[in-house]
Amino acid sequence: MNRLRNRLILVFVAATILPLGLTLWTTLSLLNLSLELAPFRELDVVSKALETTGRELYNLSKEALAQAAADGRVTAKHLKPSEAQAFWDSGVPEQFELAGEQSNRLDYFVRHGDEVWLYSRPMPVAMGDLTREIANARQVLDKSSVRDLRRGFGGPLLLVAAALWLAALATLIYLAARISRPVQLLTQGLDRVAKGELSARVEPGRADEIGVAVDAFNHMAGQLQQARERLIHVTRLASWQALARKMAHEVKNSLTPIRLTMEEIISRRGEPGRIFLEQAAQIVADEVNTLEKRVRAFSEFAAEPPVLPREVDVNALVEERVAFLRTAHPEVNYEMRLAAEQPRAIADPDLIKGVLTNLLENAAQAAQPSGTVLAATSVSGGQLAIEVHDSGPGLSVQARSSLFEPTISFKKGGMGLGLSIARRSALLCGGDIETVDGELGGAAFRVSLSATEIGVRSSNGASHGTEPHLNR
């Protein structure tokens, strides 16, 4: 289920381990080389040589000062014991000391009875500075010998590299989960659709390529679901059409001789004693005519009408149908809310007229006297919609479930085929009919058709400050 995420992690590991290893090896190699090139050994040799030289210079200076004192080339300074208390208390006969701020003078103390003779001579080199520099060099060397520089640099370098690599791996795992999760949901949705569950949808929410794929999947699943519902409806209509053709043929064969016989009886109505027979024959003839009308309705339902699509001015078509039915139902208040421009669709105008006539007629019958029927047009996203609303009692849940099925009608003069024929006509024009929430409290239907480019541009133009007009 998470193979994509695991592959991303493996690709990251394979792509980073080798470069990281090479980088660490190169860094440590350069560190070792730099440590080998460091002048610690030379510094050690130089410091020891300076220390030996300083010691020899000090010894030579002592010998030269002692010889000069013995030869009388250096004048002695006579001191009281209290002025050289440290030397006097030491009890030694003679002593050399470095004096001065920079230890640049050599003093020679000698006992002479109750006095201390002091001989002094400047040093050719400031022994204090030399001693201090030698001590600093030895301190650096001592630290370098005590501290392992390779371990000091190598250990932290490995720790920092490992920490950064683990942080990058954790970030990748998080990102891989975010990437693979929508793909996993999309795969599950495709599997559900493949098993026939066309209501499956994937929750959108991303704006990248995966989000586009999810939107495309949801759109595809919706289209497949609509196509399956239409196919089921068309298949049911085909079954009813076959049944209607068979019934119409059989009923017509039975009615024809009855109608001819009754007409023959009626034609002889002048003969005496046949008044009752004439009345009975008239009743039978009327009923036969009614049955023939029903047979013709079934025949029309079973027949496949020719489809002649062309560009249709939908507003004009709605206004024509409303004007036609307003005369037939003067007690009903007809309203129109049409798009400001002239939306157009590609459809068969005769079939659309039949659809509108059926919907408006049903709406007028449901609204009853002083009721209201609303006809509205709009265009959105390349789809042109024609809606018919009424202020009648509305539709029950049971009625909605079989609304477009060919059923028996309990309306006076109804055949139960009107909405089935209307939806078939809409489907033949590349559209469909569906129920929507009514604005007037009753039933409401929407006819969806494909809008032409003119219709789409008109809708866009109407959205820039032009309001639809309301006709009554």
Q: How many domains does the chain have?
A: 4
Q: Which of 270, 302, 334 is the last residue of a domain?
A: 302
The answer to whether 109 touches 95, Cβ cutoff 8 Å, is yes
Q: Which of 126, 146, 166 is the last residue of a domain?
A: 146
Q: What single-letter amino acid sits at 431?
A: G
Same domain? 218 vs 274: yes
- Exposure class string for 406-431: b at 16+ Cβ within 10 A, else e: beeeeeeeebbbbbbbbbbbbbbbeb
Same domain? 432 vs 283: no
For residue 187, being part of any structural domain is answered with no
* Segment holding 450, helix H or strand E: strand 444-450
Q: What is the pLDDT of residue 300?
A: 63
The answer to whether 80 touches 115, Cβ cutoff 8 Å, is yes
For residue 199, being part of any structural domain is answered with no
* Domain that includes residue 89, residue range: 40-146
Q: How far apart are CA 265 and CA 438, in angstroms?
A: 53
Q: What is the pLDDT of residue 194?
A: 78
Same domain? 323 vs 408: yes
Q: What is the DSSP string of 393-412?
A: ----HHHHHTTTS-----ST
Same domain? 324 vs 464: yes
Same domain? 141 vs 152: no
The answer to whether 130 touches 98, Cβ cutoff 8 Å, is no
Same domain? 319 vs 294: no
Q: What is the DSSP letter of 101?
A: T
Q: How far apart are CA 406 and CA 116, in angstroms?
A: 144
For residue 193, being part of any structural domain is answered with no
Where would I find the H helices in 207-273?
Answer: 209-267
Half-sphere exposure of 197 (CA within 13 A, CB side): 9
For residue 119, being part of any structural domain is answered with yes
Q: What is the pLDDT of residue 68?
A: 87
Give one word for 27, left, alpha or beta, with left for phi > 0 and alpha for psi -120 to 50.
Answer: alpha
Same domain? 270 vs 414: no
Structure tokens that stand for 216 in this block: 């495309």
The answer to whether 408 touches 351, Cβ cutoff 8 Å, is no
Q: How far apart are CA 425 and CA 429, in angstroms?
A: 6
In terms of Cα–Cα distance, which of 386, 367, 384 is closest to 376?
386
Structure tokens that stand for 59 in this block: 């010894």
Q: What is the pLDDT of residue 448?
A: 92
For residue 194, being part of any structural domain is answered with no
Same domain? 343 vs 404: yes
What is the CATH classification number for the domain harbouring 243?
A: 1.10.287
Tell me the pLDDT of the chain (472 aa) as tens digits. 466 667 767 777 776 777 777 777 777 776 666 655 455 666 667 777 878 888 888 888 888 888 888 888 888 888 888 888 888 888 888 988 888 777 788 888 999 888 888 888 888 877 777 777 777 777 776 666 544 555 556 667 777 778 877 887 777 777 777 666 777 777 777 777 777 777 777 777 666 666 777 777 777 877 787 777 777 777 776 776 666 665 665 566 556 556 656 666 666 555 555 565 666 666 666 666 766 666 666 666 656 667 888 899 999 999 998 988 888 888 999 999 998 877 888 899 888 988 999 899 899 999 989 999 999 999 887 889 999 999 999 888 777 777 777 654 545 555 566 788 888 888 888 899 999 998 999 999 999 998 875 544 444 444 333 334 444 3
